[in-house]
Amino acid sequence: MILAIFLISCSDRHEIENIPVDKNEIIAVDTILETPNFSERFKSAGKEELIWQYNEEIVPEKYIEKIDDHQLTINGISILAVDSLIEELGLEADNRNSSKETLMLRSNDSTISAGIHNNEISFINLNKGVSVKLFQVNLFDMTFQNYKEAFPGSYSMRNSTTNMSDVIYYQDIDSVKTLDFTELFTKSGKLKLTWANGRVERMEYLYFKW
């Protein structure tokens, strides 16, 4: 089932796919991570070269798909139901991890956590075991190939940004050979996906105003 209405023209995709590879222009965006070196520790589950590495002038946001946030749900609850989302998901205050600026909330099974800033939800972290559906398809069930077919722009821009905490989390797990990060945009925010060995393991939804 094709999940997205692709916003990338054929000419745009052709232009990205045919960027000449110049090894001298490789961008190491993860250099802030001294241990591990992301690009050395992990490979990508995708067979194609990471296009973003070879052209610093590419703006990932120009190519990454925008999905309909009205069709995005967490455990059956709309991502847009911000006024009732915390209560309906059963999230409770996590005072140990909260600060003066941000109130952290967490589900009893720790599969969901959220941050409240200035009395508004700023982000929700989602771990495998949660149902995150787009057009009734659970994104946690997608394979990397499914994702590539549904969101070719996002796939081509994989690893243009990395999640430091997830890189550190997986660095000592020997069974994890590949680690990828992809993003999808909405009108209300951005959905970030972490892939380990070609399967979605974690997601983060960031709320913001465009």
Q: How confident is the model at residue 27 (pLDDT cuts 50, 70, 90)?
A: very low
Is residue 131 pLDDT above 90, yes or no? yes
In a domain, 125, yes or no: no
Position 60, amino acid: P
Residue 145 inside a domain? The answer is yes
Identify the CA nearest to 79 among candidates 89, 93, 91. Answer: 89
pLDDT exceeds cutoff 90 at 153: yes
What is the per-residue pLDDT for 54? 61
Which domain range does residue 152 map to? 25-65+141-203
Mean pLDDT of the chain, nearest integer: 82
Q: Is residue 81 part of a domain?
A: no
Would residue 55 count as lying in a domain?
yes
Name residue, tokens 């120009």.
Answer: 62
Give the model's confidence band at 113: pLDDT under 50 very low, under 70 low, under 90 confident, else very high.
Answer: very high
Residue 152 resides in a domain: yes
Within a domain: 134:
no
CB neighbour list of residue 40: distance below 8 Å, 6 or more residues apart:
none
How much is the average pLDDT of 40-46? 90
Task: Tell me the CA distances in angstroms from 10 to 13, 48, 110, 179, one per residue in order.
Answer: 5, 18, 42, 28
The answer to whether residue 199 is domain-embedded is yes
Please tell me the predicted confidence (pLDDT) of residue 154: 95
Res 28: pLDDT:
41
Cα–Cα distance, 48 to 95 (Å, whole number)? 44
Tell me, yes or no, if the pTM score tops 0.75: yes
The answer to the question of residue 188 being in a domain is yes
Split into its structural domains, the chain has a count of 1
Cβ 154 vs Cβ 181: under 8 Å: no
